């Protein structure tokens, strides 16, 4: 998207151009910045050549450029700019030389000796702990070695730009400020020690979902697979290639598009593509074409239409009156107490949510989902019992004949001792037995039925939910 900016403005401005004259500019590792700027410019030049060929522009056509040379940055920074943690690119530019701190894992005495040497030299030594508990442990460990480092709390209202006064004076301090690794700045007489420098344990940072998905995707990617780039559409993966740009060789994923177009994607941007999952072999997109944009527009419109339909559906559902079941009866409590196991927290919550939905005067719209053996059937048992207590019938729909018999037996055992009739409707019944069960359902003699999908298809003409005189509450398990 930002590649269109050169066509929208005539001014070439960098961030330092917008700063006041007395602004303090810090360049962090300018050498690496210069290399990265060179890579960006070379990649942009390669993309410009590809687009010029695609658009049929004459050779040597001057394409507008988004990235500017690194010298433009230095020209606007002026002599007051500082470079941090690296040697300056210009002799007249002041700099702050910095070095990583050397941790001493498992030898607090040696590290305490090093800290005392820094304190004798007038340094500020700040120990950055990951949390309040570890900060107190660091303070006690230093005290045991003869280094007094008070615990300093940084109020949130101050912000990072205004540290507490104690941290600006020479001496050792401990504060809560998670940090990956410490450093020493001799010019400022400042040393910052991370908790990992003392313990050797590094903080674990979760990778972005996109990055993790990209890594997993690349592991299974094969030459010839169809992939989808989020901006350029459907292409064919042609393998990994190495290209040297600005003297730096990097790995790229090569994607082939229609009319011989090629797209090189840096390996660290693999998250921008994903495998094509449309099923049939797709047609390749054209780089710089409008087909992919039109496809995305059609999909977006279809999603909006579906969303609108769902909004209308749920609006109607909320406006449709439903049957509000009464509160639990003493029999309900008695039956639930016969459950031979202790409910899991999720199971207990699902049971309460389902019964709360049943007591509302709007149609229920809830899915109880869980792995095998996690107690979904018990949720259905209690919902069905609650329905029967209000004079309703319940159908426990299952996909197979075996499950129909298993659920029928389970419900019959749980409802034993109560005036509740439970029947099973499956292919294990003879045609005469099945017709008798259907007649009793229609008459209201059967309170709970466990039919399989095959039995409901075979008896659709006599489906009790079509010709019953009593309401039917359905509790299904998945």
**Residue ranges of the chain whose pLDDT lies below 50:** 88, 157-161, 204-216, 458-478
Check residue 355 and give its pLDDT: 94
- What's residue 432's pLDDT? 92
Does residue 178 contact residue 128 with C-beta atoms inside 8 Å?
yes
Q: Which CATH class is domain 209-288?
A: mainly beta
The pLDDT of residue 214: 46
- At 79 the pLDDT is 59
CATH of domain 330-474: 3.40.50.300
For 117-173, the pLDDT digits (tens) are 888 888 888 888 877 777 888 888 888 888 888 888 765 544 444 556 666 778 888
pTM above 0.75, yes or no: no
pLDDT score for 189: 87
Residue 424 and residue 417: Cα distance in Å, rounded? 18
Does residue 147 contact residue 116 with C-beta atoms inside 8 Å? Answer: yes
Domain ranges of the chain: 2-96, 99-199, 209-288, 290-319, 330-474
CATH class of 99-199: alpha beta
Q: Determine the pLDDT at residue 259.
A: 84
Nearest CA among 228, 226, 233, 238 for reference residue 287: 233
CA distance 31 to 413: 77
Instruction: Tell me what pLDDT residue 211 has.
Output: 44
pLDDT of amino acid 202: 55
């Amino acid at each position: 998207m930002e590649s269109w900016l050169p066509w929208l403005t005539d001014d070439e401005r960098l961030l330092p151009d917008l700063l006041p004259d007395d602004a303090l500019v810090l360049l962090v590792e300018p050498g690496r910045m210069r290399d990265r700027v060179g890579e960006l410019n070379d990649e942009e030049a390669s993309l410009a050549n590809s687009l010029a060929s695609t658009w049929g522009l004459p050779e040597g056509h001057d394409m507008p450029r988004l990235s500017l040379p690194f010298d433009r940055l230095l020209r606007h920074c002026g002599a007051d700019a500082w470079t941090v943690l690296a040697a300056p690119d210009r002799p007249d530019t002041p700099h702050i030389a910095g070095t990583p701190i050397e941790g001493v894992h498992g030898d607090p005495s040696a590290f305490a000796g090093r800290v005392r040497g820094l304190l004798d030299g007038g340094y500020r030594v700040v120990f950055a702990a990951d949390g309040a508990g570890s900060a107190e442990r660091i303070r006690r460990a230093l005290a045991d070695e003869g280094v007094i480092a008070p615990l300093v709390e940084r109020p949130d209202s101050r912000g990072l730009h205004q540290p507490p006064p104690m941290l600006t004076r020479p001496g050792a301090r401990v504060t809560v400020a998670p940090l990956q690794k410490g450093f020493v700045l001799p010019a400022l007489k400042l040393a910052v020690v991370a908790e990992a420098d003392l313990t050797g344990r590094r903080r674990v940072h979760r990778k972005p979902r996109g990055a993790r998905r990209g890594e997993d995707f690349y592991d299974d990617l094969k030459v010839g697979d169809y992939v989808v780039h989020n901006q350029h559409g459907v292409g064919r993966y042609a393998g990994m290639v190495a290209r040297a740009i600005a003297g730096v060789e990097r790995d790229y994923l090569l994607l082939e598009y229609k009319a011989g177009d090629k797209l090189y994607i840096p390996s660290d941007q693999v998250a921008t593509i994903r495998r094509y999952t449309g099923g049939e072999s797709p047609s390749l997109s054209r780089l710089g074409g409008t087909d992919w944009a039109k496809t995305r527009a059609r999909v977006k419109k279809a999603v909006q239409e579906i969303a609108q339909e769902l909004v209308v559906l749920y609006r109607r559902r909320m406006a449709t009156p439903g049957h509000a079941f009464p509160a639990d009866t003493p029999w309900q409590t008695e039956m639930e107490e016969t459950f031979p196991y202790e409910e899991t927290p999720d199971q207990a919550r699902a049971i309460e949510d389902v019964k709360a939905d049943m007591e509302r005067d709007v149609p229920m719209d809830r899915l109880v989902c869980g792995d095998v053996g996690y107690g979904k059937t018990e949720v259905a048992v209690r919902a069905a019992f609650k329905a029967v207590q209000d004079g309703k019938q319940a159908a426990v729909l299952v996909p197979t004949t075996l499950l129909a018999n298993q659920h029928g037996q389970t419900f019959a055992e749980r409802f034993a001792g109560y005036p509740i009739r439970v029947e099973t409707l499956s292919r294990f019944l003879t045609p005469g037995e099945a017709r008798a069960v259907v007649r009793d359902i229609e008459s209201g003699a059967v309170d709970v039925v466990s039919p399989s999908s095959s039995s409901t298809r075979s008896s659709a003409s006599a489906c009790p939910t079509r010709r019953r005189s009593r309401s039917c509450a359905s509790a299904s398990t998945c």
